Structure 1
Amino acid sequence: MGIRTKLRRNRTQKKGMPPGSLVYIGDEQTEEVTISAIAFDSDGIDEYENASLDEVKTMIDSEKVTWVNVNGVHNVQLIDQISKHVGLHPLTTEDILNTEHRPKIDFFEDHLLAIVKMLDLPEESPDLDDEQVSFILMENTVITFQEKRGDLFDPVRLQLQESKGRIRKSGSDFLFYSLLDVIFDQYLIIMDEMDDRIAQLEGMIMEDPDNHSLQDINQYKNTILQLKKTVWPVREVVNKLINRKVSYIKEDISFYLQDIHDHIVQANDMVETSRGQLYGLLDVYYSSLSMKMNEIMKVLTIVSTIFIPLTFIAGIYGMNFNNMPELSWEWSYPAVWIVMIIITGVMLVYFKRKKWF
């Protein structure tokens, strides 16, 4: 059963349910949901790799800044328990469980919900891997909900462990910014990789256009479309973050938020540039294919032209007339060959001087 079929099936299960009904919508997952948690201040850090729900609740209720990372949102009961403990509205929990959301941000009195996509472009594959990450930011707490294990957050973990930069001296708002920054930096890395691949594809098309080249162009067009759907709404998310004044985001964070806004603007510009390049590659492909066909037709035309006089000579002396004096000559056969070779040579020299090949 395909992924889209599973998603449609899950959506069908929600049909007729009241708003706020909790149903997981996403890819089928078999791994157990795990929770990692980090509580820190300027003096030290407490880290839990596989935290229990009770440990998570205790850390959230402490005075330290706490980052709770939930790997997997397919355990509806667990997500609901965490959400209730921090006072999330059922509609917010419903959004977290739906992994097909467009990037968005919702502000509440004491917290916000931000949903973005974490992207990866595997080597030797034009298909983009995306994973939804939902953020809950509140005073002293950041909760991230991921679809599965594995993320881009190791640089942030390292900063916390080694007390690099200002992250251990700052609050949850700076931690929230740091996590977003890692995700959005990945957008730029992917776009740089896309530029390299498009340039490589262009070189292949110029050298030898074939059906695989057209297939690659269409695959990368789909990838760029997916990038556009992911990156474009994030601009609105960051704009709202910059312009909305809330108690749990300090004023000095706006400078850092402006930095990620610049990254998103740059990523959007790169998406549009790559999109234009791919449409240009289609023109290059068809032009190269046409030139290749013209070269083939030119060779065939030259061969056909050379054989016209040779066929004429062979046709004349292939007729069965009794009165053909040349047939009785001793050197008639080699003479015909010599004439044919001379005609072929003269025509080839002529074509060469005309630069037809």
Structure 2
Amino acid sequence: MGTYKRKPQRIAKYIKKSKKEIGLPPDAIFFRGEQKIDHVLLRLIDFDASNLQESTIEKVEEAIHYNDKNSVTWLNIDGLHNEAIIEKIAANFNLDTLLLANVMDTASRPKFQDFDGSIFISLKMMRLEHPNNQVVVENLSLILTNSMLITFQESKGDVFEPVRERIRTQKPRIRNSGTDYLAFALLDIVVDNYIYIISEFAEKIESIEDKLISNPDQSIVEEINTFKKELNFLRKNINPAKEMIFSLTKTETNLIKKKTEVHYKELIDNINHAVESTDNLREILSDQLNIYHTTISSKLNDIMKFLTVFSVIFIPLTFIAGIYGTNFDVVPELHYKYSYFIMWGVFVIIVIVMLFYFKKKKWL
């Protein structure tokens, strides 16, 4: 498993505002983001318990008549840069322009707003792309009405295919429920992907412990710091989503039925699990960094201990050698034929005695 990466320049590290936005009214339909696809794609799924219609439409007007049907209609828009299409959606589905203005601000924090006859939800959608282990993040917006769910994505490709398959295979719960349950199913997939990505990070982070024990080096510090940055990025997007989901579950709107409220409350448990997991992983990384510094300090202490003992042993030997190296003509043992061997014997005895003493004191 390789190192996890984020696609660069997806979401600004700091708040950015273009000069064109200054002075615009809050309900101005103006694209605030980065264009990620060339053409806007409109995908529509209409279903009830027994019927299913799935198609790609060319114009917004083709979806208008679905607004009056008793079935559930899911209109998904990939690409937000075409302001004319967004204006048509506002006009044809009688939606507040402030709501659509929020849709086009891709750098906004996750939020929940209750409008007259509709609900607006936005949060960050993440997916892990293999084999290069890239975490792709984009802004997801949902507009919920009685008969229609409109979702807005920045580019084609999402994590919602399991939901589409459940609709296609006539799973009774989703086919017999309304737009409120469909919205829950999409939000549940988004949160599940948070947890999946975090679990993939956790597996890689836990493997660092083996390296810390077997071969701690500077590359481990770089790896730990990289994961800390990635986790901070995840927390930056997941924590506000928790606030949004909490607000959503507290709403008293009629658009979310009583029987569906219990499912929305499940989202709180899941998002809490995601937030707690990121916090736990940050603590693990901090502990690993402490273990690394402790291990390096311990090794350095062992080296310093050896060098100190080595130096202390040679102090008396250097002293004796210094005496015999002086330039005096009369040295008592100088002309004794065994003096050299006696000197070496003294050297060896001193070393043995000092090592024995250090061992007894448990300095070695």
TM bucket (normalised to shorter chain) is: 0.7 to 0.9
Cα 1:124–1:343 shift into 2, 3 Å: farther
Q: Secondary structure at the match of 1:166?
A: helix
- What residue is the counterpart of 1:271 in the other structure? 278
Gap runs ≥5 in structure 2: 1-7
The correspondence for 1:236, drawn from 243, 246, 255, is: 243
Q: Secondary structure at the match of 2:98?
A: helix
CA contact (8 A) 1:126 1:219 kept: no
The correspondence for 1:288, drawn from 280, 287, 295, is: 295
1:153 aligned onto 2:160: yes
Deviation sequence 1:142-167 (CA, Å, 0-9, x none): 11111222221121111112123411
Deviation sequence 1:223-263 (CA, Å, 0-9, x none): 33333333333333233333323333222101111111221
Cα 1:165–1:219 shift into 2, 3 Å: farther
Equivalents in 2 of 1:355, 1:127: separation in Å?
52
Deviation larger for 328-337 or 183-192: 328-337
- What residue is the counterpart of 2:57 in the other structure? 51
What amino acid sits opposite 1:173 in the alignment?
A: D
- Measured after TM superposition, the shift of residue 118 of structure 1 is 1.4
Deviation sequence 1:174-220 (CA, Å, 0-9, x none): 11110011111122223333443443334444555544444344433
- What residue is the counterpart of 1:225 in the other structure? 232
Equivalents in 1 of 2:171, 2:53: separation in Å?
16
Aligned residues: 356
Equivalents in 2 of 1:351, 1:144: separation in Å?
75
Provide the TM-score with structure 1 as the length reference.
0.84
CA contact (8 A) 2:35 2:80 kept: no
- Map 1:1-357 → 2, pairs under 5 A: 11-48=18-55, 50-54=56-60, 56-58=62-64, 60-61=66-67, 63=69, 64-120=71-127, 129-324=136-331, 326-330=333-337, 332-333=339-340, 336-337=343-344, 339-352=346-359, 354-357=361-364
Equivalents in 2 of 1:6, 1:184: separation in Å?
22
What amino acid sits opposite 1:254 in the alignment?
A: E
Q: Secondary structure at the match of 2:316?
A: helix
Cα 1:220–1:59 shift into 2, 3 Å: farther
Equivalents in 1 of 2:45, 2:325: separation in Å?
96
Provide the TM-score with structure 2 as the length reference.
0.83
What amino acid sits opposite 1:235 in the alignment?
A: K
Q: Secondary structure at the match of 1:268?
A: helix
- Measured after TM superposition, the shift of residue 341 of structure 1 is 4.5
Q: Secondary structure at the match of 2:18?
A: helix
CA contact (8 A) 2:67 2:148 kept: no
CA contact (8 A) 1:128 1:223 kept: no
Equivalents in 1 of 2:276, 2:196: separation in Å?
14
- Measured after TM superposition, the shift of residue 279 of structure 1 is 3.9
Q: Secondary structure at the match of 1:133?
A: strand
Equivalents in 1 of 2:318, 2:39: separation in Å?
79
Cα 1:309–1:43 shift into 2, 3 Å: same
Equivalents in 2 of 1:312, 1:59: separation in Å?
104
CA RMSD in angstroms comes to 3.3
Q: Secondary structure at the match of 2:254?
A: coil
Equivalents in 2 of 1:337, 1:189: separation in Å?
70
Q: Secondary structure at the match of 1:175?
A: helix
Equivalents in 2 of 1:337, 1:90: separation in Å?
97
Q: Secondary structure at the match of 1:142?
A: strand
Q: Secondary structure at the match of 1:23?
A: coil
CA contact (8 A) 2:111 2:244 kept: yes
Deviation larger for 335-344 or 74-83: 335-344
Cα 1:276–1:248 shift into 2, 3 Å: same
Equivalents in 1 of 2:231, 2:12: separation in Å?
23
What amino acid sits opposite 1:156 in the alignment?
A: V
CA contact (8 A) 2:60 2:85 kept: no
Q: Secondary structure at the match of 2:57?
A: coil
Q: Secondary structure at the match of 2:239?
A: helix
Which structure is richer in relative contact order (CA contacts within 8 A, separation 6 or more)? 2
Equivalents in 2 of 1:121, 1:289: separation in Å?
35
